[in-house]
Structures are given as C-alpha cells and as structure tokens.
Amino acid sequence: MEDICNSKRDQRRGSLLLIEWLLMSQRYPLTCDRCSLKGATPTLSAWLFYWVFIVMEGIFYVTLPGIQVKGNPMRHDHGRRLPYHCNALWSFYLTTVLALGLHFSGLFKLTFLIDHFGSIMSVAIISGFIVSIAVFAYALITGTEHKMTGYWVYDFFMGAPLNPRIGKWLDLKMFAEVRIPWFILFFTTLAATLRQYETYGYVTPQMGVVLLGHYLYANACAKAEECIVPTWYVSLSQE
C-alpha cells in the first residue's frame, strides 16, 4: 500500500512539474526583451527574400537539365508510376554561383540571411502553415485526398494528398525535401563565414569545418536526389 501511495505521489509531483514547465515555457516569450521580439518579426524584406528564393528554386526545378526517373507503382492507382525530374545538383551550384556573384558585386549581400535570420525563420514557419493549409484545402476541393480518417486535426498534420504537384514536374514533396532545408542551411553557414571574414579578415578552422560539413551534406543530398524517389516518404507518406 505504501508503494502505491508513493507511486501516486510521484505521479502527482511529475504532473505538477510538467504544468510548471509548460507555464514557464509560455511565460518566457512574454519576458523576452524587445530586441529579441523585434528580431523575430516577419518583415517585408524577409518575406521578399524567402519567397524570391522559393520561386527561383521552383523555376530551376522545372527548367534546369536533370535526369528523369519513375516513382514506385502506386497500389491505389492501378500501379501507375509518376515521373520525377531530378536536378537538385544543378540548382545547388547555380544558386551558389548567383549568391556569391550578387554578394561580391555588392548588389545583394548574402549576409542579409544572418542579419535577418529570426525574421526569415518566422516567415518560413508562417509560410509552411499557409502552404499546408492551401494543399490540404485543394485536396479536399478536388477530391484527391488519400486515406482520410475524419479527424480533421489528425488529417491535417498527416496530410491529405499523397503526391501534391504543380504542373507535371514540380512535385512539392521532392521540392521541399532538399532544395529548401539543406540549401538554406548551407547558405546560412556560408553567410556566417563571409561575415567572419569581413569582420576579422580570416576564417577560423571551426567555421571552415562547419562550412565544409554543410556543403558536403547539401551536395550529397542534391547529387543523390533520384535516390529519394523510391523511398517510403515519397511513395506512401502523405503531405
């Protein structure tokens, strides 16, 4: 009996600690200084930067040369196989050349990315919800939803369509897999490296190692983009 009482007491203590942690986590943003809040405000320049990048990568997706591969047979659609245009490697290097060209020419400093990092990340989060809502609504309107449960919150976060696309080639899942996260990660590190060099006149070994690692990761993801096509995520996971 004593063990049971102790167990219940521990459970209550754990619940109280969880509630206290949740209250503290919610109170923290309210106690942030104004500079921190201002740094995360989604500004017009952040919106322009983020969406120009997204649109540019989308144009590269459908226009640059690449290889065409077929996806796995879709069991729900009589074994039909969707075509995929894989050219992330071309997109990666062309974007890198453009970014460095704009930076060193003075037309647009890549260091804008780290100077407005909080604002850009806020824009990215908001944009993610906007695109998710739009894709979810479009699937319901067009009747292309897949394996819906009827629980709207669950269905929204699990995704309604299986293979959302814009046109024939721009597959949204493939587009979001490499070009957005890993490209932005690399360019953020590249911007930090450029800022360090501009400020101190040299690049530390630590920064060089991080830049090399993020370059190798982004390059590998782009170079092997066609290997993503047959994975479970593309074939069966909803968006």
8-45 per-position pLDDT tens digit: 454 445 444 444 544 444 444 444 455 556 678 899 99
Report pLDDT for 34. 53
User: What are the domain boundaries of the chain?
Assistant: 1-31, 36-235
What pLDDT, on a 0 to 100 scale, did the predictor assign at position 37? 62
* Average pLDDT across the chain, whole number: 82
Question: What's the first-to-final CA gap in the chain, in angstroms?
Answer: 50
Sequence-distant (≥ 6) Cβ neighbours of residue 134 within 8 angstroms: none
Predicted pLDDT of residue 144: 78
∠129-131-137 over CA atoms, to 5°? 100
Confidence of residue 122 (pLDDT cuts 50, 70, 90): very high
pTM of the model: 0.78
Give the other-Cβ count within 10 Å of 65's Cβ: 7
189 with 236: CB under 8 angstroms? no
> Tens digit of pLDDT for each residue in 63-110?
999 888 887 777 766 677 888 888 999 999 999 999 999 999 999 999
Overall average pLDDT of the 135-160 stretch: 82
3-state secondary structure the chain: CHHHHHHHHHHHHHHHHHHHHHHHHHHHHHHCCHHHHHHCCCCHHHHHHHHHHHHHHHHHHHHCCCEEEECCCEHHHCCECCEEEECHHHHHHHHHHHHHHHHHHCCCCCCHHHHCHHHHHHHHHHHHHHHHHHHHHHHHHHCCCCCCCCCHHHHHHHCCCCCCEECCCEEHHHHHHHCCHHHHHHHHHHHHHHHHHHHHCCCCHHHHHHHHHHHHHHHHHHHCHHHCCCCHHHHCCCC
Give the pair of three-digit tokens for residue 235: 């074939």
Per-residue pLDDT, 135: 87
Q: How confident is the model at residue 167 (pLDDT cuts 50, 70, 90)?
A: confident
